[in-house]
Amino acid sequence: MTTFKQENVDEYYDIGEELGSGHFAVVRKCREKSTGTEFAAKFIKKRRSKSSKRGVSREDIEREVNILKEIQHPNVITLHDVFENKAEVVLILELVAGGELFDFLAEKESLTEEQATMFLKQILDGVLYLHSKQIAHFDLKPENIMLLNRTVPHPRIKLIDFGLAHKIDFGNEFKNIFGTPEFVAPEVVNYEPLGLAADMWSVGVITYIL
Ligand code: AMP
């Protein structure tokens, strides 16, 4: 079992406002005391026991952390540090301050074709990088694509949320039912073997939305 820093995260970071939340996680803005740099702290609730339906299992948290540790790309979030206490694991992530692509799109009547392709190119660059490392994201959707700065004419995007991401091992058949209904590939719903191609279905749905 991997252990993370057992020290109190509050000793090293000032924790600020909530940025968003997921199923068993809350993400808050934070500032590293030693450097003044801002980050996003993702507080993931740990599952207490095997039979419990609440919280995230150790195995799933470690998978998310291990995948995050491996990635370094301009269009993908990076991991800075990991802490844990009895109830939670805290991921200190690069802060993406411009909000979700989901909200950006919701505020607009429509995008121009040029704007749509500019987003899509970056999404594909990020996905190509992940796939080159045999990492399938498995939850690509506008809520998990964030803008660095929404006020500039050509916002840069970052893929976030590696909670469902898996390394695709060609020797093993990987099957699972998960994801978000509107974006999920047919092979997920049909409980068939999954691979990197499942992400491309989601990219197709995102392209349609854009
Ligand atoms: P997640 O459970 O990782 O999808 O995070 C839940 C929500 O928190 C996301 O939908 C975002 O709105 C927000 N969020 C997650 N990571 C970051 C980040 N690195 N910077 C800013 N906001 C984030």
Task: State pLDDT tens for residues 18-57.
Answer: 999 988 999 999 999 999 999 999 999 999 988 888 999 9
Which residue in 60, 139, 169, 199 is the catalytic one? 139
Please tell me if the CB atom of residue 165 comes closer than 6 angstroms to any atom of ligand 1: no
For the chain, residues classed under CATH 3.30.200.20 are: 9-94
Residue 171 has pLDDT above 70, yes or no: no
When comparing pLDDT for 175 and 41, which is higher? 41
Q: Among 79, 92, 93, 100, which Cα is nearest to 147's? A: 100
Q: What is the pLDDT of residue 188?
A: 86
Task: Give distance in angstroms: CA of 132 to centre of ligand 1.
Answer: 24
- Give me the architecture of the 9-94 domain, per CATH: 2-Layer Sandwich (3.30)
Q: Rank 6-15, 50-59, 105-114 by mean pLDDT and report only the highest.
A: 6-15
Six-digit token string for 176: 């699972």
Binding residues for ATP, as ranges, are 46
Fold classification of 101-209 (topology level) = Transferase(Phosphotransferase); domain 1 (1.10.510)
**Is there a contact between 43 and 28 (Cβ–Cβ < 8 Å)?**
yes
β-bridge partners, 167: 135
For the chain, residues classed under CATH 1.10.510.10 are: 101-209
Tell me, yes or no, if the pTM score tops 0.85: yes
Please tell me if the CB atom of residue 158 comes closer than 6 angstroms to any atom of ligand 1: no
Which atom of ligand 1 has the smallest separation from the CA of 22? 2
Contacts of 195 (CB under 8 A, 6+ apart): 136, 168, 174
Amino acid present at 91: L
Average pLDDT, the chain: 94
Residue 143 has pLDDT above 90, yes or no: yes
Q: What is the pLDDT of residue 110?
A: 87
Please tell me if the CB atom of residue 42 comes closer than 6 angstroms to any atom of ligand 1: yes
Catalytic status, residue 169: no
Lowest mean pLDDT among 144-148, 192-196, 203-207: 192-196
Element (H, E) at 13: strand 13-21
Please tell me if the CB atom of residue 140 comes closer than 6 angstroms to any atom of ligand 1: no
Report CA-CA distances (Å) from 7 to 4, 16, 38, 85.
9, 19, 19, 8
| Residue to mutate (ligand 1; options 13, 17, 19; most atoms within 8 A of CB) | 19
Give the residue-averaged pLDDT of 186-210: 92
Q: Is 86 exposed, middle or buried (0-12, 13-18, 19+ CB in 10 A)?
A: exposed
Task: Give distance in angstroms: CA of 169 to centre of ligand 1.
Answer: 27
79-84/38-45 β-pairing: unpaired
Query: What one-character DSSP code corresponds to residue 50?
Result: T
Task: Give distance in angstroms: CA of 65 to centre of ligand 1.
Answer: 15
